[in-house]
Amino acid sequence: MQEYCKALLNSYQSSGMAVRFSQVQQGEDWVACRDGVKLLAFWYRPPGEGPWPAIVQRSCYPQTEQVYRLHGRELAKRGIAYLCQWCRGTGGSEGVWEPNVNEPDDGADFLRWVDSLPWVGSMGYWGCSYLAATGWTVTGQLPPKMKSLLLSHYGTERFTSAYESGLFRHDILTAWAMGNAGRTIDADYLESCRYRPHKEVDKALWGGELPWYRDWVTNTRPTDPYWHQGFWNFMAQAPRKLKLPVCVVEGWYDHHLGSALKTFQNLSPQAAAHSKLIVGCWNHDFQPCTQGKLQEHLENDQVRQMLSWFEETLLKGQLPRREVDWYVIGEDAWRSWEDYPQPGEQKPLVLNAAGKTLEDTPGESAQVSYRYDPENPVMSHGAESLLSTFQEVGSLLQPEPDWRPDVVSFLSRPLEEPLTLLGEIRVELYVKSTAPDTAFTAKLMEVTPQGEAYNIRGSIATLAFQEPYTPGEVRKVTISMWAVAYQVQAGCRLRLDLSSSDFPQYAIHPNKAGIWSEQEATTPAIQTILTGRDTPSRVILPLEKGVPTR
């Protein structure tokens, strides 16, 4: 924590925003909610009566109070007030902690209180991760002094953050549940993820039921009513309710990326006209996470991002122009658009099982098989959606091709010129299995002339997610990946690894039909990938059109 605070202090000192005051004022207040519960808030402000522009946060993480107070002191020194409130049941606030559900009313009550303070002028809401969630919850209840928001590393489309094709993102939500259950959970994390039937893990290993976690692990489809009512339906509507400018900040290897991109696209026209989307090459903690790449222009300083946005919208009172900035991995450069970028042509590369190659045109019919045992999953290494297993997130050096018997690698020819991918990669496979349901994973990589492979994107799909499956039936399955901006260099090859597990990024598929969290046992399966003219398994690459400059 001390090193992190030292880095933050350096960010303020090198930000270019001058210190105006050597001494600041600070205090604490109890703020009453509409149901009478009182929540604790603390604040920092410049000396004098003001009014001062103010930045507001709400947090459920008292273990990081030192960080918030550093922000408060440094902002106040620069003429900006700072107010932070502890969420219900955390940090000394009254009430019972329950994730998410109290934030809309509690947050709105807090903002009304801040709005009434005579020393507060214009307000901006700032938050990352859960602190960004508390910002999205109040978009329909913002007071007059609120002028803009900066919300990073969070998206309001909860199902996208929880599931991919019916398989749960353990490393995000199981890990978060264990750390935020309102009680200490000492159970082993990976043992918890592998417990079956998983919906009983709370009683078996965590000391009692967590009803909200059980809801997460049993509602596996986007059409399930759970995701379209109550709090998560409320959150899905949050960007449509917002009428003010918002700066949405994301990382290519942050686990909220997929949801955040949808959130930005769902902004109301009034908000969208003056909002900004920044997607850089970093993880959930704004750290660089691409090995083997030049990374001199990451611009991953969240303090500078925050000061730049609020200087424009609070201190200068300006309406920003709409802008979408994406960092291109491998090129170490940024692209800038006025709107969400659209790829140009889509380039397919077909799989050839006979030579295990990626080709421009399909060859003769061929197939390759492997045995998938859920009791021996492929462990996540180089991934998009990890939190607890943080050291494995990002674009990382990968093992050699076919490094396990249940991993099948396909390799392209060397590229004659650089290839810039922009958008969502997808893999279409013709497959069959001996199981009534199972999963297939795909991971696309760049392979250097020296033979080093680095993952670009990966994902997973469930065979019977759309409709029941009969073992032995040939079926087309589509593996959809999150968007990316990535330049593959000339002389490099593309490699596609196919398997059936990626744990703990995703829950292990038990090779049983039905909801994954209700299965009590697993069974091995023989998986077959078919290629050729009649079964043209392929990877479809979204290519950049034009080269706009930032």
119 and 58 together in one domain = yes
307 and 357 together in one domain = no
What is the per-residue DSSP string for 106-132? HHHHHHHHHHH-TTEEEEEEEEETHHH
201 and 262 together in one domain = no
Residue 389 lies in a domain: yes
Residue 525 lies in a domain: yes
57 and 145 together in one domain = yes
Residue 283 lies in a domain: yes
pLDDT digits 0-9 by tens, 279-314 = 999 999 999 999 999 999 999 999 999 999 999 999
pLDDT value of residue 548: 45
What residue numbers bound the domain in which 180 lies? 163-225
221 and 318 together in one domain = no
Residue 157 lies in a domain: no
Residue 336 lies in a domain: no
305 and 200 together in one domain = no
When divided into structural domains, the chain yields a total of 3
Sign of dihedral through CA atoms 529, 533, 535, 541?
A: positive
Residue 132 lies in a domain: yes
CATH code where residue 252 lies:
3.40.50.1820
- Give the length of the chain: 550
| Structure confidence at residue 344 as a pLDDT band (50, 70, 90) | confident
184 and 249 together in one domain = no
Rounded Cα–Cα distance for residues 531 and 348 (Å): 14
Residue 208 lies in a domain: yes
pLDDT reading at 506 higher than 90? yes
311 and 355 together in one domain = no
- Would you state the structure tokens that stand for residue 9, as one six-digit string? 């202090």
426 and 534 together in one domain = yes
Mean pLDDT of 160-165: 94
Residue 231 lies in a domain: no
365 and 496 together in one domain = yes
CATH code where residue 405 lies:
2.60.120.260
Q: Is the pLDDT higher at 357 or at 1?
A: 357
Instruction: Give the chain's mean pLDDT.
Output: 96
| Structure confidence at residue 99 as a pLDDT band (50, 70, 90) | confident
Q: What single-letter DSSP state applies at residue 301?
A: -
Helix (H) or strand (E) holding 539: strand 538-542
445 and 408 together in one domain = yes
Burial class (CB in 10 A: 0-12, 13-18, 19+), 288: middle
pLDDT digits 0-9 by tens, 108-149 = 999 999 999 999 999 999 999 999 999 999 999 999 999 999
216 and 277 together in one domain = no
Q: What does pTM read for this prediction? A: 0.94
